[in-house]
Structure 1
Amino acid sequence: MPLDQISDEKEMSFLDHLEELRWHIIRALIAIIIFAIAAFAAKDLVIGTIILGPSRTDFWTYQKLCELAELIKTPALCIDTLPFELVSRKLSSQFMTHVSISFFVGLVLGFPYVFWEIWRFIKPGLRPQERKASRGATFSVSVLFMLGVLFGYYLIAPISVRFFSAYQVDPSLQNLFDLSSYISTVTMIVFGCGLLFQLPVVVYFLTKAGIVSSALMKAYRKHAIIVILILGAIVTPPDPFSQILIAMPLMLLYQMSIVIARRIEKREARQNKEDK
């Protein structure tokens, strides 16, 4: 029986909780595997069109940058060449890349369901008031994650690919990137952006738990900006432009988190006043 269907009055042992958690994890893994199998079968779309998209000059982002460059009369903004080639240097490299990409796509597509399974396990342990306040958590987490994934894929990943492909320590050196290196860079950026966009949700629950407050976040805003820039440096190439591109939405999310924390504090203060 699912944990959320068990009566609040019925206590479960520690082993019962572990057993329930095990089944939630199993169902989440099954969802990931199903999406991964579908991605494995759709090789031309997933790898040829999506994953390798930022490695080609006809990628949507590059085309829009060229249109913008023509509009504002700034030719340097247009990315019409990518001076590199992808190579596969190991016998099993392409097959293992196919498997790893399929699993990654399965994880991204299955993320909302995975979180929902985790949430189903956590939710029965919350008080009725906390359950009501956290209504729509799965939807919010899923939307923010997908926005982060799209932001990483259409903005940070192509700019990172362009930076690395154009960077040369000497003109005599030719860029021949290993396929696994390209894949790991793109997937790390995309998934990392998806996780970083969860900041408002994290702040929401920390505020509900009384760990952070809007006043605290305002006081440490400057420190947060430094941390955001460091995070931007971790998930992007070491060029200031890419770091700023990812830092700007994160700063906006941080400001949104302050607003969320302030609203929660006002709501709880009003409820406490009504209880008295």
Structure 2
Amino acid sequence: MTQQNEEMTLSDHLSELRKRLIYVLSIFILGLIAGFFVADPVYRYLTKAETAQGFVLHAFSFWDGIGIYMKIAGLFSLVITLPFTVYQIWRFVSPGLRPQERKASLKYVPYVFLLFLVGVAFSYYVVFPMALAFTSTITEKMGLVETYGMKQYFSFLFGIVLPVSLLFELPLLIMFLTGLRILNPIRLRKMRRVAYFVLIFIAVVVTPPDFISDLLVMIPLLLLYEISVFLSAVVYRKQLAADQEIESRYERADDKQHVG
């Protein structure tokens, strides 16, 4: 009977997971459809930086224009779907959380969207112009004529903006995992050197190969990690206080029973 109940429980979990995935996929498809309507104005806005540099984008394939519109629509759908996905993850794991943990972790969901937008703004208005200016300067010094395909331009753009934007979710991810008792500030401090190495490596990869550009991206990423450790400590202290309060209640209840 016990084995059968465990199988039923596993089946219920898989069914619940499938339902959440269907919800997320449905929102992503709806966001993708809506993305096609905003693809043109977004495309025109994103090509302003390229126009200011004095070069014109070219289509080297019949599918380049459609492909770029689909990428823009996909990115738009990702932005819309991201907070909903996090909410569905919370709905899936919330039955295993304590009431106070369930309530506290739910507060993170709206900030997923906000931090992602902050990451998009930082990567597009700070990192991308530096990378574009650097590559254009090198091209000019080599005496080359700048003739870029729109596919290459947007691959370069999205290759910078998307990873940096997702990294801005690090504080919320750390807080969420701390809330689930998977991470804690003690463990994060012990792995600080490894985390610094990974973040510095990412900063070097997504920026032009010059020290100033690397530094401008590296410092915010390292600050994000330290902010994550601080927020993890805040959540951890609240957890310890809640655990101590529960233990105190049990002790008082036991004392009453002994007195009775």
TM-score between the two structures when normalised by the length of structure 2: 0.81
Partner residue, 2:134? 163
Cα distance between partner residues in 1 of 2:54 and 2:43: 20
Question: Does the alignment pair 1:103 with 2:74?
Answer: yes
Aligned partners of 1:103 and 1:155: how far apart in 2? Answer: 23
Structure with the largest fraction of helix: 2
**Alignment partner for residue 151 of structure 2, among 176, 180, 191?**
180
1:42 is aligned, of 38, 41, 47, to: 38
Counterpart pick for 1:25 among 3, 11, 21: 21
User: 2-side partners of 1:53 and 1:117: how far apart?
Assistant: 37
Corresponding residue for residue 52 of structure 1 = 47
Identity across matched positions, percent: 33
Structure 1 unpaired stretches of 5+? 1-10, 58-81
Q: 1:261 to 1:43 in 2, by over 3 A?
A: closer
SS at match of 2:61: coil
C-alpha distance 149-12 of structure 1, shift in aligned 2 (>3 A): farther
RMSD between superposed Cα atoms in Å? 2.5
Name the SS of the counterpart of 2:148 in structure 1.
strand
Report the Cα offset of residue 12 of structure 1: 5.5
The answer for the alignment partner of 1:89 in structure 2 is 60
After superposition, the C-alpha distances for 1:21-65 in whole angstroms (9 at most, x for unaligned) are 22322222222222222221234311111x3233232xxxxxxxx
Answer whether contact 2:90 2:106 (CA < 8 A) is retained.
no
Cα separation, partners in 2 of 1:158 and 1:215, compared to 1, 3 Å: same
Q: Shift in Å at residue 268 of structure 1?
A: 2.7
After TM superposition, give the deviation of residue 83 of structure 1 in Å: 5.2
Pairwise CA distance, 1:133 = 3.0
Letter in 1 for 2:64: S
Deviation at 1:134, TM superposition (A): 1.4
Deviation, structure 1 residue 222: 4.1
Q: Identify the residue that residue 241 of structure 2 maps to in structure 1.
A: 270
Q: How far 1:18 moved relative to its partner?
A: 2.6
User: Could you give the per-residue CA deviations for residues 196-229 of structure 1, whole angstroms, max 9, x where no partner exists?
Assistant: 0111122223334544433443344344333211
Whole-Å separation in 1 of the counterparts to 2:72 and 2:19: 26
CA contact (8 A) 2:79 2:113 kept: no
* Equivalent pair of 1:108/1:191 in contact (CA under 8 Å): no
Residue number in structure 2 paired with 1:7 = none
Write the distance in 1 (CA, Å) between the matches of 2:140 and 2:233.
Answer: 49
Shift in CA distance, 273/28, structure 1 to aligned 2, threshold 3 Å: closer
Q: Distance in 2 between matches of 1:172 and 1:141?
A: 44
From the CA coordinates, give the structure whose radius of gyration is larger: 2
Q: Report if aligned partners of 2:24, 2:88 keep a CA contact under 8 Å in 1.
A: yes
Partner of 2:98: 127
Q: Which residue of structure 2 lines up, in the alignment, with residue 14 of structure 1?
A: 10
Return the offset for 1:189.
1.8
The change in CA–CA distance for 1:268 and 1:168 in structure 2 (over 3 A counts) is: same
Structure 1 residue 103: Cα displacement: 1.4
1:252 paired to 2:223? yes
CA contact (8 A) 2:36 2:70 kept: yes
Deviations 1:67-113 (CA, angstroms, capped at 9, x unpaired): xxxxxxxxxxxxxxx25432211122111222222112211233222
1:114 aligns with 85
Instruction: Give the letter for the 2:66 counterpart.
Output: F
Name structure 2 gaps, 5 residues minimum: 1-6, 249-260
Q: Is contact 1:83–1:165 with CA below 8 Å preserved after alignment?
A: no
